[in-house]
C-alpha cells in the first residue's frame, strides 16, 4: 500500500525492526541515500542509524542493474536485513521513500515519538518509474512563498517520488528572481501595491540552497522566467523594455491576461540573455522554462518599431514575432547546453528544440509531438490544482470554471492511450500546476496540493495503478501519513485576493 503503486510488490514472511543498534552499510555513491535515510527518520525515531561495514541495512549502487534505469530500485526487507539496490543514486533515494512508507505513519512526524516499534513488513519490491518527468509547478510570482515552504514542498514531492519542482518565478504581478545586473527587477518588480499590497523576492543564496536541498532528495528545480508576455513586473522596473517609449507602468494589480508585453528590440533580447545567464548560474537544471503563454500581440501590431522588426525579419504579420522571440532565447539556452521549455496553448508551430507543456488541451500536445517536440502533459482539466477539488461550498474560493477532482487527476495519466506510439514516445511525463492567484499561504497551497498530487504521482510513476484496486485502498492508509506530515486536510480560511 505504497503511493506511488510499486510496479512489482510481494509480501514475504516476517518483519524487520529498526532499533538503537541498527546500522547502515553504504559507501561511495550510496552515501547520499544513507544520509537521507538518517535525516528523514531521525526527527520521529531518534535512531542514530550509524554507518558500519557490518550494518544490516545495506544500500548499494550497482551500474550492472541497468534494467532499473535512472530511478528504479529493488528493495528486499527480511527479518534480519534490508537490501536496497539501484543502478543510480537517484534510485536509492526513491527506495528510501518507500522505506518511510513501510514504517508506521508516526515515523513521519516532525517530533519525537516514543513507544512505537519501528517495524516494517517483509517485502520484495522491484519498482521502476514509467515516466522520467514527474513534476509540480508552484507559482511564487502571484503570491511569494518563503523558502522554508519551498523546502517543505520539496520534501512532500520527494515523499511521492516526484522529481521536478518547477518554480514560476516571474509574472505580471511580481518578479521574485534576483538578477544582479538588473536590481530593480526585484526592488521594483517584486513589490505590488493595490488594495492588498504584496512583496517578496529570493536571494541567490536562498535559491542555491534550495537547489542543493532538492538535489539531496533527487528533485530538480526547474526555473521559469516568463517572456514575452506575463512580463508586466519587469516592465514596471524597466519601462524601456516595452513597446511604448516613455510609458510608466505599475506591477499589475489584477489577475488575468495583461496586454502589455516585452518589446522586440535588441535591448530586450540582450536583457533576456543576461537574465537567463544569471538564472543558469543558480539553477543547474538541464531544462529552463521561458513561459511563452498568453502573449497578446496588440502592442506589436500597433508599434511602429515592432512592425518594422517583423518586416525586416521577413515574418509577415507581427504575431509571428512570438515564435521568433522564443526561438532567439531558445538558441541562447541551447548554446549554453540547456533545453528550452515553453507552454503550448494551441496547435500552432513553436520553435524546434523546445520541450512543450500543453496546458489547454492534450490535443495540442499530440500536435506538438507529431512535429517532433518532447512533451510534458499539463492539461488544465486534470493537472491544475488551483481549481477546487470538489463542488462542496466549503471549498475555499479558487479558479473559476470547474472542479478538478482526485479522480480526474488520477484518470488522466500522462500519455493518452489513443495517441499513436511514435507520438506517445515523445511524452516525457506529466506535472501538476499550482497557480496562486487565490492562494496566499503555505497551508492553503498544501491543502490544494494533497491528496491530488499523490494521484498524479501514482499514475506518472505507474500508469497500471488502478483507481479501485490500487490507489483508493492505498490512499486510505496514505491519509494517516499526510496527517503525520501535518498536511492540512480541512479547508483553510479564505485568503484575501485581488479582484
Grid-cell match 505507474, residue found: 462
Count of residues engaged in binding ligand ACM, rule: CB under 6 A? 4
Q: Residue 141 CB, nearest distance to ligand ACM (Å)?
A: 12
Per the annotation, the verdict on 5 as an active-site residue is no
Interaction between residue 294 and ligand ACM (CB under 6 A): yes
Residue placing its CB nearer to ligand ACM in the complex, 252 or 343: 343
Interaction between residue 438 and ligand ACM (CB under 6 A): no
Buried b (16+ CB within 10 A) or exposed e, 330-339: bebbeeeebb
Q: How far is CA 129 from CA 172, 199, 306, 325, 429, in A?
A: 36, 39, 46, 35, 10
Per the annotation, the verdict on 127 as an active-site residue is no
**Candidates 62, 155, 187, 294; catalytic one:** 294
**Candidates 5, 230, 364, 444; catalytic one:** 230
**Cα 133 to Cα 423: distance, rounded to the nearest angstrom:** 16
What are the DSSP E strand ranges found in 326-465? 339-344, 355-358, 375-377, 427-434
Residue placing its CB nearer to ligand ACM in the complex, 293 or 479: 293
Residue placing its CB nearer to ligand ACM in the complex, 378 or 462: 378
Residue placing its CB nearer to ligand ACM in the complex, 29 or 294: 294
**Candidates 71, 127, 171, 446; catalytic one:** 171
Residue placing its CB nearer to ligand ACM in the complex, 325 or 343: 343
Question: What are the DSSP calls for 445-475, one per residue?
Answer: HHHHHTTHHHHHHHHHH-TT--IIIIIHHHH
Residue placing its CB nearer to ligand ACM in the complex, 101 or 378: 378
Between helices 89-102 and 147-159, what is the axis angle to 10°?
A: 80
Interaction between residue 387 and ligand ACM (CB under 6 A): no
Between helices 147-159 and 204-216, what is the axis angle to 10°?
A: 20
Per the annotation, the verdict on 301 as an active-site residue is no
Residue placing its CB nearer to ligand ACM in the complex, 183 or 256: 256
Angle formed at CA 137 by CA 131 and CA 139, multiple of 5 degrees: 175
**Cα 448 to Cα 442: distance, rounded to the nearest angstrom:** 10
Q: Residue 322 CB, nearest distance to ligand ACM (Å)?
A: 14
Interaction between residue 133 and ligand ACM (CB under 6 A): no
What are the DSSP E strand ranges found in 19-81? 23-25, 50-51, 57-61, 73-77
Q: Residue 437 CB, nearest distance to ligand ACM (Å)?
A: 11
Taking residues 145 to 184 in sequence order and writing x for each that binds ligand ACM by CB under 6 A, - otherwise, the string is: ----------------------------------------
Residue sitting closest to ligand ACM (CB): 293
**Cα 432 to Cα 164: distance, rounded to the nearest angstrom:** 10
**Cα 248 to Cα 238: distance, rounded to the nearest angstrom:** 9
Residue placing its CB nearer to ligand ACM in the complex, 127 or 224: 224
- Phi/psi for 209 (5° steps) reads -60, -40
- CB neighbours (10 Å) of residue 323? 18
Q: Residue 431 CB, nearest distance to ligand ACM (Å)?
A: 11
- CB neighbours (10 Å) of residue 260? 21
Q: Which of 359, 419, 447, 450 binds ligand ACM (CB under 6 A)?
A: 359
Residue 162, C-alpha cell as written in the block = 516526484
Residue placing its CB nearer to ligand ACM in the complex, 341 or 423: 341
Q: Residue 298 CB, nearest distance to ligand ACM (Å)?
A: 18
**Cα 449 to Cα 272: distance, rounded to the nearest angstrom:** 32
**Which residues are CB-neighbours of 173 under 8 A, at least 6 positions away?**
141, 142, 192, 198, 232, 233, 251, 252, 253, 255, 498
Q: Residue 292 CB, nearest distance to ligand ACM (Å)?
A: 9
Q: Residue 355 CB, nearest distance to ligand ACM (Å)?
A: 14
Residue 239, C-alpha cell as written in the block = 519601462
Q: Residue 72 CB, nearest distance to ligand ACM (Å)?
A: 31
Interaction between residue 293 and ligand ACM (CB under 6 A): yes
**CB of 232 closer than 8 Å to CB of 258:** yes
Q: Which long-range contacts (CB under 8 A, 24 or more apart) does 262-267 make?
A: 262/227, 262/228, 262/229, 262/231, 262/234, 262/235, 262/325, 263/303, 263/305, 263/306, 264/228, 264/300, 264/305, 264/306, 264/309, 264/310, 264/321, 264/324, 264/325, 265/305, 265/309, 267/240, 267/241
- What is the total residue count of the chain? 499
Interaction between residue 343 and ligand ACM (CB under 6 A): yes
Q: Residue 294 CB, nearest distance to ligand ACM (Å)?
A: 5
**Contact footprint for ligand ACM (CB under 6 A):** 293-294, 343, 359
Active site amino acids: 171, 230, 294
Amino acid at each position: 500500500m505504497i503511493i506511488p503503486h510499486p510496479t512489482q510488490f510481494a509480501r514475504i514472511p516476517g518483519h524487520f525492526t529498526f532499533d538503537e543498534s541498527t546500522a547502515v552499510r553504504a559507501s561511495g555513491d550510496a552515501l547520499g541515500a544513507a544520509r537521507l535515510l538518517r535525516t528523514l527518520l531521525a526527527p520521529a525515531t531518534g535512531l542514530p542509524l550509524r554507518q558500519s561495514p557490518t550494518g544490516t541495512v545495506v544500500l548499494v549502487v550497482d551500474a550492472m542493474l541497468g534494467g532499473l534505469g535512472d530511478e528504479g530500485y529493488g528493495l528486499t526487507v527480511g527479518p534480519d536485513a534490508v537490501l536496497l539496490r539501484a543502478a543510480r543514486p537517484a534510485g536509492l533515494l526513491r527506495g528510501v521513500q518507500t522505506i518511510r512508507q513501510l514504517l508506521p505513519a508516526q515515523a513521519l512526524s516532525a517530533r519525537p515519538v516514543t513507544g512505537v516499534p519501528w517495524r516494517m513488513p517483509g517485502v520484495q519490491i522491484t519498482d521502476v518509474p514509467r515516466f522520467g518527468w514527474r513534476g509540480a509547478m508552484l507559482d511564487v510570482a502571484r503570491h511569494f512563498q518563503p523558502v522554508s515552504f519551498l523546502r517543505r514542498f520539496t520534501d512532500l514531492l520527494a515523499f511521492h517520488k516526484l522529481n521536478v519542482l518547477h518554480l514560476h518565478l516571474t509574472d505580471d504581478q511580481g518578479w521574485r528572481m534576483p538578477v544582479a545586473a538588473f536590481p530593480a527587477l526585484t526592488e521594483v518588480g517584486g513589490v505590488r501595491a493595490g488594495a492588498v499590497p504584496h512583496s517578496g523576492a529570493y536571494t541567490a543564496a536562498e535559491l542555491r540552497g534550495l537547489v542543493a536541498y532538492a538535489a539531496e532528495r533527487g528533485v530538480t528545480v526547474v526555473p521559469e522566467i516568463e517572456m514575452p508576455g506575463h512580463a508586466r513586473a519587469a516592465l514596471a522596473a524597466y519601462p524601456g523594455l516595452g513597446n511604448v517609449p516613455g510609458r510608466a507602468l505599475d506591477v499589475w494589480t489584477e489577475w488575468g491576461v495583461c496586454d502589455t508585453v516585452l518589446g522586440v528590440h535588441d535591448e530586450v533580447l540582450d536583457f533576456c540573455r543576461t537574465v537567463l545567464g544569471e538564472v543558469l548560474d543558480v539553477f543547474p537544471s538541464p531544462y529552463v522554462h521561458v513561459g511563452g503563454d498568453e502573449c497578446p500581440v496588440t502592442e506589436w501590431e500597433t508599434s511602429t518599431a515592432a512592425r518594422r522588426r517583423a518586416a525586416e525579419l521577413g515574418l509577415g504579420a507581427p504575431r509571428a514575432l512570438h515564435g521568433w522571440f522564443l526561438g532567439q532565447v531558445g538558441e541562447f539556452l541551447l548554446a549554453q547546453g540547456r533545453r528550452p521549455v515553453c507552454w503550448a496553448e494551441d496547435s500552432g508551430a513553436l520553435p524546434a528544440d523546445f520541450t512543450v507543456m500543453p496546458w489547454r488541451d492534450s490535443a495540442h500536445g499530440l500536435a506538438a509531438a507529431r512535429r517532433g517536440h518532447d512533451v510534458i502533459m499539463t492539461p488544465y482539466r486534470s493537472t491544475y490544482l488551483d481549481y477546487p477539488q470538489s463542488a462542496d461550498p466549503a471549498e475555499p474560493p479558487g479558479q473559476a470554471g470547474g472542479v478538478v477532482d482526485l479522480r480526474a487527476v488520477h484518470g488522466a495519466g500522462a500519455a493518452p492511450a489513443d495517441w499513436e506510439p511514435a507520438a506517445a514516445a515523445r511524452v516525457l511525463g506529466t506535472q501538476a500546476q499550482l497557480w496562486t492567484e487565490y492562494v496566499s499561504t503555505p497551508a492553503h497551497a498544501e491543502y490544494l496540493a494533497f491528496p491530488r498530487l499523490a494521484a498524479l504521482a501514482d499514475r506518472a510513476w505507474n500508469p497500471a495503478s488502478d483507481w479501485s484496486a490500487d490507489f483508493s485502498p492505498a490512499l486510505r492508509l496514505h491519509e494517516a501519513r499526510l496527517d503525520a506530515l501535518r498536511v492540512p486536510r480541512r479547508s483553510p480560511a479564505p485568503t484575501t485576493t485581488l479582484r
